[in-house]
Amino acid sequence: MALDPHTVRTARRLAAEAAEPVVALAKAHTTVSVERASLRLAGLAGADTTQLAGDVPWVNRVVDTVREHCGLEHGALLPVFHALREHSFTDLTELAEATAAGQVRFSVPTGQRRRSAEALARKHARGGVRRLRRNRSTRDRLVSKIGDPPQRPWVYLIVATGDIDEDVVQAASAARAGADIIAVIRSTGQSLLDYVPEGATHHGFAGTFATQENFRIMREALDGVSKEVGRYIRLTNYASGLCMPEMAVLAGLERLDMMLNDCMYGILFRDINPIRTFVDQRFSRQVHARAGIVINTGEDNYLTTADAVHEAHTVTVSQLLNERFAHEAGLPDELLGLGHAFEINPDIPDSFRLELAHALLARELFPDAPLKWMPPTKHMTGDVFRGYLLNGFFSLAGVLSEQAILLVGMMTEAVVTPWLSDRDLALANVRYVLNAAGNLREDFHPAPDGFIAKRANQVLGEAADLLERIVQDGLLNAIADGTFGLMKRPPDGGKGADGVVEKADDYRNPAAELLERDDDH
């Protein structure tokens, strides 16, 4: 299937033009979550567990106090490390404890004190950045020693019990049954918490809280089962919501392999302030790039609120924007798991041909990206037999379009919380399709003037037209107008807007500078 090369070039150029003002906006601002993530990279961990505090993370306590004393427009790291040096604290935890006790007054250092604080901050941040790199090397070594799954697409399966210990049991069972990637769904509403909970958790709602300790527990468990099954099992969680940068850092520190990370998902579907989201996603993607973490984008969500046929081009536009924002932050194509969804009403004539056209469009438009599709949800019903068949069609589309990551569809998806037996049957469905048709792509070539090729080029042309309008009107205005997923989100609204800070001319963040330069010196 041949896409029109001129339209492809035009669409990419327009995506870059549409993204440029937003990148400039992101560079001109910081957020409380970026400053907290920078402190985590510099080594501050743990929480204030005193009875009155109620487990407030130390990074929240310190950043909030810095903001109160001298603002965040100059950055948090220099005031923090100036205080560390001036008070001769042994480490950042001791400084945080003194901060909670009201014994520290933060200020922005100048002159030689500023240079000393900057050097100390860079030294600590370098340790965190090097840990990201070591974990990336460890992953590469384990993949080389244990082995990758023998074929693609990799089978991606969800666990979500609310209890990290039970998640471990289910994840290990899923890996033994054929899953290559385990995604731990996050507890409902965590994306709207402006802090990361501390420690292992056992009380999530429709998912398990994402914490550094939970990341560590699951990664350790999957390393064990990887050796048992003879292939490296990858771990996925979420770098989204109000703590997007912190989630990215914690994932890198604990060697997660994939993170859901989309440039507009939080804006559209969680009503998080647009500027905060773009600032946070740029920093988080710089972390992912250093840690070698594959991002999964969220275009599938658009088609749960908008028509999957008429609004297909908005998905392509989002994919192109996600690609541009990712490249600008340093993520190469091989770490760019662009999304889509199998959400066309199956009662529409030629629905599968339409699905396949959209899938093949993405594959040809992004030839080196590990694409990830979402299985049917919107049109699933209580008819589990129909659902099982739809999931088979979904897996077939994944095979024919050479997707790299195949999320396992459940026959009870969107009807009830799937039983373990539902997951077992879902894996059996995937295994059948991969075994029977895994190499069909080499024999499948849509006619250049056929329905599939024409549909793909139509959607691409509509995407280019929409991008041209976005360039004229501005991406923030397009989001405010409901262009994506029919959600209208103004740039000055949404949750977390009060956590956005415009940088002063003397803003410095040694952690961000290390990520930006992509070196450790």
Provide the annotated active-site residues. Answer: 265, 300, 372
Per-residue burial over 153-188, b if 16 or more Cβ lie within 10 Å, else e, is: bbbbbbbbbbebeebbebbbebbebbbbbbbbbbbe
Two tokens at 87? 């008070």
SS (H, E, C) 78-90: HHHHHHHHHCCCC
Q: How many CA atoms lie within 13 A of 169 on its CB side?
A: 6
Q: Which residue has the tokens 């918490």?
A: 193
Closest CA to 452 of 315, 366, 358: 358
Q: Quick count: other Cβ atoms within 10 Å of Cβ 115?
A: 12
How many angstroms separate the first and last alpha carbons of the chain? 47
Contacts of 349 (CB under 8 A, 6+ apart): none
Of 207, 152, 213, the C-alpha closest to 181 is 152
Burial call 220-249: b when 16+ CB within 10 Å, e when fewer:
ebbbebbeebebbbbbbbbbbbbbbbbbbb
Give the whole-angstrom CA distance, residue 247 versus residue 461: 36
Q: From CA 481, how far away is CA 475, in angstroms rounded? A: 10
Q: Return d(Cα 243, Cα 203) in angstroms, integer.
A: 20
- Are 293 and 335 in contact, with CB atoms under 8 Å apart? yes
Give the gyration radius of the chain's Cα atoms: 23
